Structures are given as structure tokens and as C-alpha cells.
Amino acid sequence: MEAEVAAGSPGDRLSSVRELMARHQAGPATVQRAIAALVARGVVEARPGRGTFVAPRVAPAAADTSWQTVALGARAIDADALETLLRPPAEDAFVLSSGYLPADLQPTAALGAALARAARRPGAWDRVPPEGIAPLRAYFAAEVGAAPGEVLICPGGQAGLAACLRGLAAPGAPVVVEAPTYLGALAAARAQGLVPVPVPADERGIRPDLLADALERSGARLVYLQPVFANPHGATLDNARRAAVLEVVRAAGAFLIEDDAFRELAIATAPPPLFGEDPDGHVVHVRSLTKPAAPGLRISAVIARGPALARLRAARIVEDLYVPGPMQEAALELVGTPAWRAHLRRLRRVLRERRDALATAWGQPVRLPQGGMNLWVALEPGIDDRDVAQRAAAAGVIVSPGRPFFAGEPPGPFLRLTYASEPPDRLATAVERLRPLLKP
Amino acid sequence: MEAEVAAGSPGDRLSSVRELMARHQAGPATVQRAIAALVARGVVEARPGRGTFVAPRVAPAAADTSWQTVALGARAIDADALETLLRPPAEDAFVLSSGYLPADLQPTAALGAALARAARRPGAWDRVPPEGIAPLRAYFAAEVGAAPGEVLICPGGQAGLAACLRGLAAPGAPVVVEAPTYLGALAAARAQGLVPVPVPADERGIRPDLLADALERSGARLVYLQPVFANPHGATLDNARRAAVLEVVRAAGAFLIEDDAFRELAIATAPPPLFGEDPDGHVVHVRSLTKPAAPGLRISAVIARGPALARLRAARIVEDLYVPGPMQEAALELVGTPAWRAHLRRLRRVLRERRDALATAWGQPVRLPQGGMNLWVALEPGIDDRDVAQRAAAAGVIVSPGRPFFAGEPPGPFLRLTYASEPPDRLATAVERLRPLLKP
């Protein structure tokens, strides 16, 4: 019938129901339903007692979406910097900017087998508890020394962070962050109407004295931190500062989001989570399997105590109800296999090799991170890091400029150079290509 | 070593590095690392030149999380009503309250096979574009008559709604909703600091005259609507009102979130999406595969035009970056199989049967929805719907009270009775059990 309408002119009478039944070998109900659908779409008109006719065609006016600019207002939600990190690089580019393991370091065979099994399990597609399946919660709980009931399963680390930022502060509230810090946390905070308050981090991690000052000055009740192998600056909070940070946070009656994304990407052993040193529920721990496994395994955990746990649970439910069962089952099977331990051991070896290769190639003195994926390198004053990154991309080398990692003004130009994604020889070649771009 | 520490008393000297190397057949680096980890956890103390000793045990003080009540403040995020819908009912209960198809109506075999294949495909676990994989976007685009570039893939309908509410209005802004409306939308709106503005819906859908009034009075630039087989009241916006609603929304310079969750659960043919009648980007369409497939297939699409599309894309990225590739591939394979069309045909037949069985059993005059999953029944004035629901649950029949579906005061007591989840004979038995509870 569509063809008949398309071939006809407005006002043309279409075939009768009887003719259509004969032509399409269909019953009267089927034909009537097809006609009703065309009437509903406005392409034919039914004139009772006379038949159906091709409806007048109205030429569509040119679309005008300019009213949206007023309705939307200015941007608080800005994913530009985050999206730069997600953009797949050109096929032959040297990738020194990535938040994920490269394909050759992902345990894809184990993952594929686990998900294939999970997909066919009876009940696999039914709903699961909003807080996650019990054995996966127990796994994360054991990793951190928490109770399984304190764990909420989320679809990846970013979703865990977003839930914490939504649940633990109201729109308009301040949130204290390291300078520099993970730019995805900055974007999520701003999208929820929070106001980032930056506090400098050095080679020993965030400065507790300035953290205390920032909490007092801003009245913030929320701090976001990566205490171990921080992204981008690589530092691990040292023992003296761990105690001081906890003390400052407690004194302020504040929450501390402990983003522990890189623990499994350790080269040296990491200190234990702050969560274990805080009985009173100040620390909310976020842990992800995406970083040590593969970008497609979007499974993370938020671990919290006290009324905050209930608030975070609600913040997760209103966003997307729950994480699909098969993905949770696959994650659970993966971390239980001997292949997972072997994968982590291999990772540690390969990451050390790549870190050292990049540091050697870089040549200048550089702080060696004890885990994570990145070197954080200072450029000579006067150089524009965004300009360097742009020219590097043109030369086939993808690096991240330091600026978007700062909520305020950076103290100088930096680059974040990911060492995880390329083998040693390619890291060396990439640095050779970068070198001429680094002169002021 | 842990055992040695546990067995010892504070101040006891532990075995030397040499002894530990011999006992555990380990190298010096391994032993040193293990000691360092215990020192970091504070369970042993290293005294340089003298060895390692069991650290003094500090009895943990009782946890006190009461400071959180002040830090968290009052609840804007409340998932209680939504969670009631998600709670798995008792094994033998009669389920007349559910947002999902029961297990026997889910195409689990086709889903399992599709996901198993997707999980093992090369590159399956790598990152995918934040907006979703191209062929799945094309599928949703074709369903609605949009361009593939206008489609954003989301992890389920609730996530699509949450992104729209976050992207299209700022915290504190009003959002116009039907009364009654989907309570998950109410919860998501409130969680993001939006203020619901209710407008009555009757058997022809939302009242355009009162919608105009509400938009003018509140200054809202955002409307949330289920124009087809609305949850919970079942009405489909009729032709005259479709035009009027679009006109009112256009005149107000507002966005209309068209939540089209139930289109595939049609008994009679649904009118086409409003999206197709709006060239200027007022209508943002939300479509989900979760309802017609299974709760574990959390795949939906948000479809929008103009600058709003970019804003929504950013709102999605800051929340959870992207939907895992294997799930998108599985959804794509599912909707392309002949089994999918057969499944939808079977659904239509079974849902009609169950709707009619429930309406017949109910006995009282009731509005017959042309699709969806629910009957919306008015109770006699003076009855407390929440009380009825509670007593019904005690009698093994799970129903939803009407009250949580209203942003304001309900005009009277209602029940939402899901007909999708039980076969006709069990629906009849359930109504028999309900009947004695319905007297004032």
C-alpha cells in the first residue's frame, strides 16, 4: 500500500479493502489495520462510505531549532575534555593518551568465555537486586575489608563517581578536588551543579594543610581524591599524609570519595585503602574492574557505611535501576579464575617495562609513578601544553595537555603521557617525535 | 606471616627475613614486600636494625556515623516507591505489579545466543563510541523516522530519562508531568533538583488546556509525557490532543520528553511517535528495548535534534561514558532475527488475552488500555489505596497503590493492576482475593 500511496497524487482513490485482501492474501482485519496505520501517519485519508484517498502532501518547512539555545541556557554539562580522552585515535597513531589498557593487554578470551556462559544461564535476563548480585558484592567487600552489605555494584567507575557526587552533595555545593585531578570527575561534578574547589597535590599527594584551609573556606562537606597512583599526577598519598587527610576530613564532618581506580595497575605495592582506617563512614570507596580488565567490562563498586549508603543506593536506582545480570556474572567469573591472577601478574611486569621505557626515552628527570598508566611531565615555562598536544597529534602522537586536569589555573604547562598503551620501542619513537615540539 | 602476627602478642619479635625466605621458598624482594604491606596496614612495626615486631593492637572504637545526617541534609533523592516496583515478590505471590515481562514471555534463548556470540567477537571488549554503535543507532532511527546521527544509545529507559532530565533542565527548574505519571520519572526529576508540575490526564491523555496553563504559570521549558499506552493510566493521546499538545509546547518554547516505552507492547496499533511531527526539535524521543525483551537487556535510545542533541550527549558521557559493546551487539542481533518479530506477535496475542481476562475478572467498568501492561482502576471514594495494597500483599497479591504516581494529591484512590505477568486463571484468582479488600 505504501507503494500505491507513493505512486499516487493527493486525492487519488486507493484500492478497496476487498482488492487489497485479494492482492496481499490477507484477512480484512490485517488490511484494516494497515489502513489505520497509514491514516494515523497522515499519508492517507479515510472518507467513510467512499474509500481511502492519498492525503495532501504538506511540504515540510525548514527546521528551526534556534529556540533551543534559550531553553537550554549556558552549559554546565561539558564533556569536551572527557570526550577527547575517549576518541579512538587514528589507526597508526602513537597512543600516549588513554584511560584504558590496549587490546593486547585485555583478558578478552577469559572475558568472552565468562560472558558467553553467563548469557545462557537460566534466569540470566531477569532483574537483579539494584545493589548488585551478592557474590560480586562479596568479592569487592573482601578486596577492601568491608561487609558485603556495604557494597553497591555500578556500571563502571565513572558511574560510581557520578552517583557519589549526586548522592553526597546538593546542586550548588562545593566539592574539594586535587589540583590536578581526573577530568572526568571535574566534568561530572560540574554537570551536577557542584563547584570544584582545587587543592594542590605534590609528589606526596594532596597537601593536608591546604585541604583543611579549603574545607574551612568553602564549607565543603565533600572531598574527591585518588590516594593511590593518582590520575594524572601519579603520586601516592604517603603515610603521614594519609593520617592527616583523614583527620582533616573527620574534623570537617566531610565525606571523602576515595577513587581507587588504579590499584590493580600497581608496579610497587600500594598502601591499603583509606576506607579501612575510617570506622565512622567518612570514606566512600570507589573501585573499578574496567581499568585492569577491558573498557567493555563496565563494572565497579561503591562502598560506604551509614546513612550515606542508603542515599547512594537511591542515587544509583533513580539513574538506571541496576546493572545487567550477565555483565555482573561475567565479572564475577573472571576475577575467580586463575587466569585473572596471571593477567594481573603479567600486567605488573609489562607496565613496569613500559613505564621505565618511557621515562628513559623522556630523558629529563621525571617522577616515577608506582602504578597507574601515566607519566606526568612538566614542560618548560612559557610553552603552551594545548598547542604541543595539537602539534603532536598532527605528527601522529596522541598526548594529553595538562590544563583540563586543573579546576583552577595550572602552576605551569604539563603533559600527561600514558605509558600503558604502547610497547617500549614505540614509546621511544613517540618521544623522538615529541622532542622538537617541546622547545619554547 | 599473617598467622604469626595473629598468634603473637604486641611487642613480639617476628621471624627474620632469612627465616621467612626459607620457610616460604621466596626471594628477599617478595618477603620485604610482604613485610612492607603489613607495616603499611599498621599490624607490624619495623625497627631498623632490630627486626619486625607485632604492633600494639588498638581496640576499634564503636563506629559513629551520626555526623552524616548533618552532612547529607534532607532527602531529594528518594527511590522508595521505585524500589517497591523492583522488589522481587515472594515465590508463590500473584504478581499484579511489575514493570517487566515475566520470565516465560522473555526471548531468553535468542538473547542468550546473541550475547554469547557478541562476547567472543574480536574487539568486543574495546571501547565503543559514547553515542553507541552505528548499526544500533540506525535501527532506532528507522523505528522513529529519525537520522542515525540523532540517536544516543543508553543503558535502559530509566537512564535515557535521567539523561534528558539532567540535560534539558537545570537544578531547581520546573518540569511538567502528567497526573498520574511514571513514578520513576518523578523520582529521577526530584533527584536532579527539578520540581514536578502536575497536569491531569484523562482517557484521551493529558489535557492541553491545562498543560498550557501549567507552562505559563510555572515558566517550565520541559514537559515529560508518555503519549502512548501511558504508565500507569493506560491512555493514548488522541489525534486532536496530539496536535494541541505539540502546539502548546512549541508556543512555550519548551522541550517535550516523549517516553515511548510501551510501543512494542501494543494490543491495537499505536499512533506514530510525536517526534515525526516536530521538525524543530521540541520532541526528544525515548525508546527502550528492555520492556519488550527482558529486564536484563538494558538498552534504550534517546533521539533528539539541534543543540539539545549535543547537550544530551554530554549528559550521557559524564554519567557513565558509554554502554558496553557486547550488550549493544546483542540487542542489534536480537532485533534483526525473525525470532524477534515472532516474539512481538506472540506478545500482542498474550497481552490481549491477559488484559481481557483481568478486565473480565475485575467486573466493574474499567478503561481498556490499547497496550502497555496495566489496568488503572478507580476504587470507591474513602478507600485508602496504600492500605489495600498492603493488605493485598499480606494475602499474596502484589498490586501498586495509585498515590505514588501523582506528583500532587490524587483525585481519588486508584490501583495499578499489571496484567502482563500472570496467566488468565491466576489473574482471576488474584482478583477474587482482592475483592474482599475493596469495601470501604
A167 near B CB under 8 A: yes
Residue A91 pLDDT > 90, yes or no? no
Least confident of A33-42, A383-392, B429-438: A33-42
Q: What is the pLDDT of residue A15?
A: 85
Cα–Cα dist B165/B302, whole Å: 12
Cα–Cα dist B223/B244, whole Å: 14
A75 near B CB under 8 A: yes
Residue B417 pLDDT > 60, yes or no? yes
**For A255, phi and psi rounded to 5 degrees?**
-90, 150
Cα–Cα dist B251/A67, whole Å: 10
Strand partners, B300: B154, B288
Residue A179 pLDDT > 80, yes or no? yes
Tell me which of A39, A43, A45, A68 to substitute to probe the interface with B (most B C-beta atoms closer than 10 Å). A68
Of A432, A426, A423, give the one whose Cα is nearest residue A105.
A423
Cβ within 8 Å of A, B 367-426? none
CB contacts of B309 in chain A (<8 Å) are none
B119 near A CB under 8 A: yes
Q: What is the pLDDT of residues A389-425, one digit of tens each?
A: 999 999 999 999 999 999 999 999 999 999 999 999 9
- pLDDT interval class at A220 (50, 70, 90): very high
**For B372, phi and psi rounded to 5 degrees?**
95, -150
- CA A215 to chain CA centroid, nearest Å: 27
- Mean pLDDT for chain B overall: 93
- Mean pLDDT for chain A overall: 93
Q: What is the pLDDT of residues B278-311, one digit of tens each?
A: 999 999 999 999 999 999 999 999 999 999 999 9
Q: What is the pLDDT of residue A387?
A: 96
Least confident of A262-266, B30-34, B422-426: B30-34
Q: What is the pLDDT of residues B162-184, one digit of tens each?
A: 999 999 999 999 999 999 999 99
Residue A354 pLDDT > 80, yes or no? yes
Which domains can be identified in chain B, with CATH numbers? 2-54 (1.10.10.10), 80-103+339-438 (3.90.1150.10), 129-336 (3.40.640.10)
Q: Under 8 Å CB-to-CB from B142, ≥6 apart: which residues?
A: none
Dihedral of CA atoms A172, A178, A179, A180 in degrees, nearest 10, equals -110
Q: What is the pLDDT of residue A43?
A: 74
Least confident of A342-346, B49-53, B238-242: B49-53
For range B112-123, the mean pLDDT: 95
CB A267 within 8 A of CB A351: yes
Q: What is the pLDDT of residues B125-160, one digit of tens each?
A: 999 999 999 999 999 999 999 999 999 999 999 999
Cβ within 8 Å of B, A 243-262? 253-255
Q: Chains A, B: CB contacts under 8 A, how many?
A: 306
Residue B60 pLDDT > 60, yes or no? no
Residue B124 pLDDT > 60, yes or no? yes
Residue B265 pLDDT > 60, yes or no? yes
Tell me which of B101, B222, B320 to substitute to probe the interface with A (most A C-beta atoms closer than 10 Å). B320
For range A57-83, the mean pLDDT: 85
Residue A371 pLDDT > 80, yes or no? yes
The three cell numbers locating residue A160: 560510581
CB B25 within 8 A of CB B40: no
Q: Under 8 Å CB-to-CB from A330, ≥6 apart: which residues?
A: A111, A114, A115, A117, A118, A297, B119
For this complex, say whether ipTM is above 0.90. Answer: no
Least confident of A344-348, B44-48, B352-356: B44-48
Angle between helices B108-120 and B338-362 (to 10 degrees): 140
For range A237-244, the mean pLDDT: 97
B306 near A CB under 8 A: yes
Of B254, B241, B250, B168, give the one whose Cα is nearest residue B200.
B241
Q: What is the pLDDT of residue B41?
A: 65
B106 near A CB under 8 A: yes
CB contacts of A194 in chain B (<8 Å) are none
Q: What is the pLDDT of residue B61?
A: 62
Q: What is the pLDDT of residue A59?
A: 58
Least confident of A52-56, A111-115, B194-198: A52-56
Q: What is the pLDDT of residues B359-396, one digit of tens each?
A: 999 999 999 999 999 999 999 999 999 999 999 999 99
Q: What is the pLDDT of residue B15?
A: 85
The three cell numbers locating residue A416: 600527561
Half-sphere exposure of A78 (CA within 13 A, CB side): 11
Residue A60 pLDDT > 60, yes or no? no
Tell me which of A80, A263, A269, A318 to substitute to probe the interface with B (most B C-beta atoms closer than 10 Å). A318
Residue A193 and residue B187: Cβ atoms within 8 Å?
A: no
The whole-angstrom distance between A438's CA and the closest CA on chain B is 31
Q: Under 8 Å CB-to-CB from B181, ≥6 apart: which residues?
A: B198, B201, B224, B226, B230, B231, B405, B406, B407
Q: Under 8 Å CB-to-CB from B104, ≥6 apart: which residues?
A: none
